[in-house]
Amino acid sequence: MILWWNVENLFDTVDDPGVDDREFTPGGRKGWTEKKLELKLLRLGHVVRLAREEVGDYPALLAFAEVENEGVFGRLLSGLPEANYEAAYHESPDGRGIDIAVAYDRSRLTLVGDVHRGVLFEGRPTRDVSAYGFEVQGTEETLWLVVNHWPSRSMGRKWSEPKRIAAAKVTRELVDHLRGVEWSRGRRANIVVAGDFNDEPDDRSVKKVLGADGSRKKVVRSCGKRLYNCWRDLEEDEDELGSYNYRGKWNRLDQVLVSCGLLDGVGLEVPEDGFLCFQPGVMRKGHQGVPWATYERGKFRGGYSDHFPLLLSVDML
């Protein structure tokens, strides 16, 4: 099981002079204190434990967006000692200092490689696109996890779209690179692409540039050209389901895509019921059941995150 989650600004309380993080300090605009941080860490750990109850075991992989540094991520993992997690962390050049933190269960997975690619465009730098390769212990299978946090829609979706197009091109190039590496070894690549894309499944960056498709059969038939978007496994109305809610409208900005190697019935496989937008009751608030955020309209609310997590099952056939 893989858990992807934008955890909404997991910062420590120290002002790092190298990044723009002053608002998340005791004297900053958010009034971010150790007490608030400890509550945030408890909330995040609680959701990981709820995911264990949902699927019967701790997720073998965690991928969290909006983590400030390896130190604060380590504090989160230390609160889950029974889960046997080890961090795989890469510092990105993001101006606010937020990264994507990955943790893996070292009793089930062995880290065998990592690749990181920068995203270049005018303006402030954004998060790198990172890939981590894991050997599934007891098998000859390798699973690649590609994690993304693309530029936001601030200043408007259309105005900011070229930045996400640039990130999508880098992601696609990295996926093709991994596919070539695995093909040289005589096997199809098992690739999971997870992220907060800040675009919807049908937007150009995801559907056209990244090559995401809603048909499992098409992805298997044109192996290498397309990735399967797991949101298509869910039949609920798009207006009533998403990982993020903006002004009363559900969004599917968080997405999980998989390569044909995870759909072909050989080795590792993502079952048709293997994808879930995880929305436990304690994380929901209001009549719409929107995510209970840590901050809302600048005020501390003490919730979990403004995003719901995504879960993906990967089985061994």
Q: What angle, 0 to 180 degrees and rounded to 10, lies between the N-to-C axes of helices 70-78 and 34-55?
A: 60
Model pLDDT for residues 151-161, shown as the tens digit of each residue:
987 777 777 89
Q: Which of 262, 255, 261, 246 is nearest to 167 (CA)?
A: 255
Segment 288-308 shows an average pLDDT of 95
**Mean pLDDT estimate for the chain:** 93
* Amino acid at the residue 79: G
Measure the CA–CA gap between 209 and 253, rounded to whole angstroms.
16
Tokens of 181: 């590496």
Confidence at residue 9, expressed as pLDDT on a 0 to 100 scale: 96
How many distinct structural domains can be found in the chain?
A: 1
Confidence at residue 154, expressed as pLDDT on a 0 to 100 scale: 76
pLDDT(123) > 80: no
Supply the Cα-derived Rg of the chain in whole angstroms. 19
* Amino acid at the residue 37: L
Residue 45 sits in a domain whose CATH number is 3.60.10.10
Model pLDDT for residues 210-220, shown as the tens digit of each residue:
999 989 999 99
Confidence at residue 240, expressed as pLDDT on a 0 to 100 scale: 66
pLDDT grade for 260, boundaries at 50, 70 and 90: very high
Scanning 79-229, the segments in alpha helix (DSSP H) are 157-184, 204, 216-221
Domain of residue 172, residue span: 2-316
What does the chain come to in residues? Answer: 317
Which strands make up the sheet holding 310-312, listed edge to edge? 85-89, 99-105, 61-67, 2-10, 310-312, 275-277
pLDDT(131) > 90: yes
Question: In sequence order, which residues have a C-beta less than 8 Å from that of residue 115 and are 6 or more positions away?
Answer: 130, 131, 174, 177, 178
Residue whose tokens read 């934008």: 6
CA 49 to chain centre: 18
Measure the CA–CA gap between 230 and 39, rounded to whole angstroms.
32
* DSSP characters over 190-246: -EEEEEE-SS-TTSHIIIIIS-EES-HHHHHHTBTTBEEEGGGG--S-GGG--SEEE
* DSSP characters over 234-285: --S-GGG--SEEETTEEE--EEEEE-GGGTSSSSEE--TT-EEE---GGGEE
Measure the CA–CA gap between 265 and 149, rounded to whole angstroms.
30
pLDDT(105) > 70: yes
Q: What percent of the chain has pLDDT over 70?
A: 98
Q: Which of 51, 46, 65 is nearest to 8 (CA)?
A: 65
Would you tell me how many other CB atoms lie within 10 Å of the CB of residue 17? 7
Model pLDDT for residues 54-74, shown as the tens digit of each residue:
999 999 999 999 999 999 999
